[in-house]
Amino acid sequence: MGLTKQYLAFKPVSNFNIIASGRANVAFVSVGGVDGRFVAVAGAEQVLVWNTRLGEKAMELVRDKQEVTYLRPSPDQKHLAVGYTDGVIEMFSFESKQSVCTFAAHRSAVSAMNFDLIGLKLVSGGLDNDLVVSDVVAQSGKCRLVGHNGAITEACFMQRYHDVVLSSSKDTQIKFWNIETESCFKTIVDHRTEVWGIALMRNDDFLVAGSGDSQLSVYKVAENSSNPIAEPTGDLDDLLLESEATSPFRCTQIGNIQRSGYGRTINLVVENNGQILGCHGTDKKIELFYFYNDDEALVRLTKRLKKLDAKSKGEDNTNTNSVERQLSLTDEIKRLPAVQVPEKVKSFDLLLGSNNELRICVTYVKNFVQVFTLNVAEKHAEANAIHTIRQPGHPSEVRSVAFSSDSLAIASGSGESLKLWSRASQASLRTIETGYVVSTCFVPGDRHVLVGLKTGQLLIVDIVTGETIERIAAHEKELWSIVLMPDMRGCVTGGGDTTVKFWSFELIADPTKDDKSEVKVLSLLHKNVLKLEETVLCVRISRNSKYIAVALLDSTVKIFFLDTLKFYLSLYGHKLPVLCMDISYDSTIIVTGSADRSIKIWGMDFGDCHRSLIGHDNSIMGLEFIPKTHLFFSCGKDGKLKQWDADSFEKIITLPGHVGEAHSLAVSPNGKYVVSCGSDRTLRLYERTDEPLILQDVQEEEREELENKTLATGEDSSVPGLPGLKLPSKKTIGSEKAAENILECLEVSKTFEEEETKNIIPPLMFAYEATNTDDFLLAVLTRIRASDLEEALLLLPFSAVCELLERIPKLTQSRKDQTEIICKVVLFLFRIHQKPIVNNQILLPVIQDIIHNLQGAIVELRDMVGVNFHGMQMLQREVEANQGVELFRDATKSRRQKDMRRKRKEAAAKRTLVQIST
């Protein structure tokens, strides 16, 4: 066998420049027991937890290459639920920084999430129009609620009424769902436009909804009395009264809140106590509203009535409207001072702390985070910005990147500024306001950076002082490309004004100093110009100083002699303009990348096309050779970063790229690092490792990954005979593999039991560390992810189901420690295959054994838990009596406080409600 060419693998090092993604929300989180200081935001496919006081990252929570769309911390602040674009929800632990469970809930992006009061259930809504209620303890879905005709915009649990879920959607409806019956029992259809947010205030006393207009609708939620309100007069009234009677509460609109901002409502956010509501529209303002409790509202009503009586006596008017003497919306709600923000708001979160201090954390479209504080009790208080995280990122998308000659610094340019980064620590060193940057290049010596702007100006930036030394009007239109001369004594620029200009570096006296000063500064001296017929998109010079290649808008690349500027070759073959290109170190190969998605490899001697490759799924945006090799990297609008071999014309590897488009890339002069920038506002750094890479292995892995993305059994998970069954999970690769493992386990177990010599354990059973078939089956079942178990059992054929059920009675007796998972499997199989199981007479004795054994196992398990619980309580009382100390004092104290808070909420919910009208 001949030797195969080996390559060294590149691996991702880190992502930087991103502060907060524009797609997901922001949430206050508690880290180490500290509240109000840490916020969790999305950073493309990562979750970033920022310390707002120090402006530093506290932690990163990472999953696969899927963008984060929604965040929600648990009520105990120990976990963070994260929703992704593929519909998966991950539960991360703040302590371990790892995922503790996964819910494959939706078929598209997660758009809303909320925990119940104690954090045992999680409701999520997606762009697939469905709601899924998940059991956090069992780590599996509980039910799927189907009925909306548009994407879910908000979903939450009601605190006062157990097992009731409230949801809003773009179909203009607000629905109330019962989890136990998995049905909608009430729908509000008052809105004419999409409902963008809902909020339950003051322990479910009020429901506030925000839609496409400039008003917030306020509904009063009251317990439904058994007596009918009025006698029915028609069929429609009968239906309305019947629907009201089936509901445990009435929900009536009592008025509207007129927003001072303009545009539609984008977000409605409630702080933890349910007393302060925040909302924002399309303007630069966050409005806050305070909902009074019952006692405060009655005090305000009394004051208003006194003023009303005094006014009526003065006017001798005794016919005061009785409606004015009832509790109104103005008595219940107070408008707090609005928070004026500097930029367009993406999302925000509220946290009410001690001393009535309200903290507002705001994320902006321009990639920065700001924290405001407001004293709610103060009469004329104003919100003040106390923390801002702006330094570690560009406000807009990065368009150009470049490495310094020592590979220690990275320059990146965006629509407003140029930033200098440390490659080792990924920390921002300098920020220089420049304008819209489209090209960058380090000057030899790494003390200056040349910056090409969209206006055509060429800037010389001093890295040390962080100032722009000189602005040169180099081109009349965009300056698309800057390249250094091989002798490092000058540079060449190409612009949209169809010219290529040649410049030389000069040291001149500093014009800002005195004439006698000997301080010299860098400047550029214009030497020559090459006039062309089309817009210049890219310029490259060969290392041997012979040729200059110019990519034009007419889809051709023209090569000229560098010394005389006479025409040498024309490379034509691309169907769309060439956006990027590079020449190899030995000046023998030129590679071009075009908007037609193809990469072409040409010879510099005759201009012949060696090979044309379909490089990316969209336009090729960046292309550069690794120094002293014929290997090169390319990136495209499909977000991927790929490495190629220009000699064998093969793709070496596809690196995990950007979420969205990739705009540009740069390879370090030592060939060890690659940095790329994209529309997800991240700069991604890759490092060459010492791990050898064999093409056949890489191609096989990519082929397997592609096969794994397509489900073998299809997306549909319907059950024959049960067309209305909607499981709270979706079919995944994990569920298909789990079903294969169960079938394989049953087959191996059957073969093992039929063999006469049972001394030889099958290899698969040995791999699971099982010595008998019962342990083998349980090992397979316990290794299946809880959210995939139901889908895996659903894929089993009925013959395998019968075989599995026949093993359950013996399994129950031998492994009573696994009673829970055995019950879960049996109940699900009975629910799905009820009719065939009932009609199968052979399974009748098996079912009787299962019922008898499982009931006994559950009773035994319950008794054991009860004995242990009360035994521990007795031991605790004895220790406390003997030693005079209280065990678990901190935990007991916190539990008592929680119980007291819960009892206060329940007591508030049972108070007599005041009649409210508009």
**Tens of pLDDT, residues 614-649:** 989 999 999 999 999 999 999 999 999 999 999 999
Higher pLDDT, 810 or 328: 810
For the cut 90, the answer to whether the pLDDT of residue 696 exceeds it is no
Q: Residue 263 — pLDDT band, cuts 50, 70, 90?
A: confident
Q: Average pLDDT, whole number, for the chain?
A: 87
Higher pLDDT, 918 or 100: 100
> What is the structure's pLDDT at 11?
93
**Tens of pLDDT, residues 473-529:** 999 999 999 999 999 999 999 999 999 999 999 988 777 765 555 678 889 999 999
**Tens of pLDDT, residues 851-863:** 888 888 889 889 9
- Residue 770's contacts (CB-CB under 8 Å, 6 or more residues apart) are 761, 776, 779
For the cut 90, the answer to whether the pLDDT of residue 733 exceeds it is no
- Residue 305's contacts (CB-CB under 8 Å, 6 or more residues apart) are 325
The whole-angstrom distance between residue 565's C-alpha and the CA centroid of its chain comes to: 52
For the cut 60, the answer to whether the pLDDT of residue 233 exceeds it is no
Q: Residue 389 — pLDDT band, cuts 50, 70, 90?
A: very high
DSSP letter, residue 90: E
For the cut 60, the answer to whether the pLDDT of residue 429 exceeds it is yes
> What is the structure's pLDDT at 775?
87
Mean pLDDT, residues 32-54:
91
Largest Cα separation within the chain, whole Å, is: 111
Q: How many CA atoms lie within 13 A of 387 on its CB side?
A: 20
**Tens of pLDDT, residues 278-293:** 999 888 999 999 998 8
**Site of tokens 């929570």:** 61
For the cut 50, the answer to whether the pLDDT of residue 843 exceeds it is yes
Phi and psi, residue 817, nearest 5°: -75, -15
Angstrom distance (rounded) from CA 623 to CA 172: 48
For the cut 50, the answer to whether the pLDDT of residue 743 exceeds it is yes
> What is the structure's pLDDT at 234?
45
Angstrom distance (rounded) from CA 293 to CA 908: 9
184 to 167, 187, 560: CA distances (angstroms): 10, 7, 73
Please return the burial class of 270, using the count of CB atoms within 10 Å of its CB with bins 0-12, 13-18 and 19+.
buried
Q: Residue 237 — pLDDT band, cuts 50, 70, 90?
A: very low
Give me the percent of the chain exceeding a pLDDT of 70.
Answer: 90
**Tens of pLDDT, residues 550-585:** 999 999 999 999 999 999 999 999 999 999 999 999
Mean pLDDT, residues 95-102:
91
**Tens of pLDDT, residues 198-227:** 999 988 889 999 998 889 999 999 887 654
| Three-state secondary structure readout of 145-163 | EECCCCCEEEEEECCCCCC
For the cut 90, the answer to whether the pLDDT of residue 304 exceeds it is no
For the cut 80, the answer to whether the pLDDT of residue 758 exceeds it is no
**Tens of pLDDT, residues 436-471:** 999 999 999 999 999 999 999 999 999 988 899 999
Q: Residue 295 — pLDDT band, cuts 50, 70, 90?
A: confident
- Give the DSSP per-residue string, 324-348: GGSB-HHHHEEEEEEEE-SS-EEEE
Mean pLDDT, residues 861-884:
87
Residues in the chain: 918
Handedness of CA 333, 335, 336, 340 (dihedral sign): positive
> What is the structure's pLDDT at 228?
43
